[in-house]
Structure 1
Amino acid sequence: MSLVKFKRKPFGNLVTQDFFDMDDFFDNRGWVRDMLPERFWNGKRGEPALNIKETDDRFEIELAAPGFAKKDFEVTIDDGCLNIKAEKSASDEESDKNFTRREFSYQSFERSLQLPETVKQEAIKAAYKDGILSFNLTKKEEVKKIPPKKVQIA
């Protein structure tokens, strides 16, 4: 038997990954799905796909959000959570003496990710290009993997 260092995560042992998606945790509970009639549940939540890649010194997050502009996003860090919110609307109206045509659209989403303790929150960088919102999260120095070092024998 080997000993493994216990690291307390939110909600006890229910969460085993570094990034804890609050929306995913609450939206994918079976009791929520069972309360809705089957015609309302299609397995999709209408929120953008998210990729998280970890390297030795950083995390890279990509969120697919095509059709939005930089000004449509609001990104905050609060109490160890990275909160991403986007909202946009458009309307068009055409009037004539016999008719009025009015069209409008509205899109929004919110995602919240609990950041691991290993991330430098003050050094988080974000960029939006070609429909992809990218985040670069640098790890703290004390948790970066130190490469092996050869020791000379005297």
Structure 2
Amino acid sequence: MTLVKFNSENNKKNAAVPSLNSVFDSIFNDTFFSDRMVTRVPATNISESTDHYHVELAAPGLKKEDFKLKLEGDVLSISVDQLNQDDAQDRTYAKKEYSYSSFVRSFTLPESVNADQIEAKYQDGVLCINIPKREEAKMVTRQIEIK
């Protein structure tokens, strides 16, 4: 198998119509265009401590009432269903990058969670969900004697 290294600079120089390549590059590399090609869901951090799992979802500009958390079996779903309202109807935008719309993030929880005691809070643009572990699933640490 032969790997061929792609060098976009060489392709621009050797192209039959170099200006055409730069037009396509400017269209497809534009952040306005490329942002719309990527699904917009909030970034999430998932961590584990001794007795909890922690899910942190970055969602600035929302209110805690905008979120819906649902647990079906072992799947935790976080959703926001928000309508975009354009308050500035007298403006014509050249570029409009921030708009919050609907999204759903789903996470399959391990069997070791205590689903009855899941807690969530929204503060400073971050939704924090603390998922406690069952007593038997908590990490036990002990000192092991070396003989």
Global fold match (TM > 0.5): yes
- Larger helix share, 1 or 2: 2
Deviation at 1:79? 1.5
Deviation at 1:45, TM superposition (A): 2.1
Find 1:137's aligned residue among 131, 140, 146: 131
Gaps of 5+ in 1: 1-38, 95-100
Shift of 1:149: 5.5
Task: Please state whether the residue corresponding to 2:70 is helix, strand or coil.
Answer: strand
Q: How many residues align?
A: 106
Choose the corresponding residue for 2:65, options 48, 56, 71. 71
What is the CA–CA distance in structure 1 between the aligned matches of 2:100 and 2:61, rounded to whole Å? 12
Report the Cα distance in structure 2 between the residues aligned to 1:110 and 1:57, rounded to whole angstroms.
27
The root-mean-square deviation of aligned C-alpha atoms, in Å, is 2.7
Distance 1:106 1:146 in 2: 42
Pairing 1:122–2:116 present: yes
What letter matches 2:74 in structure 1?
G
TM-score, normalised relative to structure 1: 0.59
Sequence identity (%): 39
1:107 aligns with 2:101: yes
Counterpart CA distance in 2 for 1:106 and 1:55 is 31
Q: In terms of Rg, which structure is larger?
A: 2
Seen in structure 2, the aligned counterparts of structure 1 residues 137 and 106 have a Cα distance that, compared at 3 Å, is closer
TM-score normalised to structure 2 length? 0.62
Larger fraction in strand = 1
Query: C-alpha distance in 1, partners of 2:75/2:123?
Result: 23
Gaps of 5+ in 2: 1-27, 93-98
TM-superposition CA deviations, 1:83-138 (whole Å, max 9, x none): 100122224376xxxxxx499x6611110101111110011000001110000011
Aligned to 1:92: 87
